[in-house]
Amino acid sequence: MSRNETIWSQYGPYVAFGTALTAMLGSLYYSEIVGFVPCTLCWYQRILMYPLTLILLIGILKHDQGVFDYVLPFSIIGIGVSTYHYLLQLGIIAHSPACSVGIPCGLRYVNYFGFLTIPLMAFTAFVIITGVTALAKWAGQGTAAAMPALEEATEQT
């Protein structure tokens, strides 16, 4: 097992958890402290992001290598929803019927540096979680594949 595989399998879940926690706290800050009312697509992204914090925390505490199988579907779907939302904000995609009730999904509460909006922040968090989780899963499979060989060598001595 290489050093990179060890680093990803050991620290990947912590990076993914930190990213999910930061995204969750950031969205709560914008809605509860600043007072921004989330639109429909923002709620969908929250529905996909918030459970990741709990799932990753439980996976870390239980040292569960299978946690990645639970995280990846949420984060991959989250990439799709946040991409759609950002493209809608840019005007590349026409407004969705899902956004016809309540707060318009094209509304930009923040626009840092002229392009960084809340859906792009969510997209970035989902991409980081997906990438780190996929790398940790890959590294963990290398570790799991090496374990039987290590156990065999130990039993022979």
Tens digit of each residue's pLDDT (9 = 90 or more) over 5-29: 677 777 888 999 999 999 999 999 9
Q: Give the tens place of pLDDT for each residue, 79-123.
A: 999 999 889 888 888 877 777 777 776 666 676 676 678 889 999
pLDDT > 60? residue 44: yes
Tokens standing for 52? Answer: 């990741």
pLDDT band at 148; cut points 50, 70, 90: very low
Q: What is the mean pLDDT of residues 37-57?
A: 92
pLDDT band at 48; cut points 50, 70, 90: very high
Q: Give the pTM.
A: 0.81
Q: Are 134 and 72 in contact (CB under 8 A)?
A: yes
What's phi and psi for 92, nearest 5 deg?
Answer: -75, -35
Least confident piece of the model among 2-6, 30-34, 80-84: 2-6
Q: Are 19 and 128 in contact (CB under 8 A)?
A: yes
pLDDT > 50? residue 145: no
Q: What CA–CA distances, in Å, run from 101 to 38, 94, 95, 96, 97?
A: 12, 15, 12, 10, 8
Q: Which of 36, 39, 37, 74 is nearest to 55 (CA)?
A: 74
Domain boundaries, the chain: 3-143
Provide CATH code, domain 3-143.
1.20.1550.10
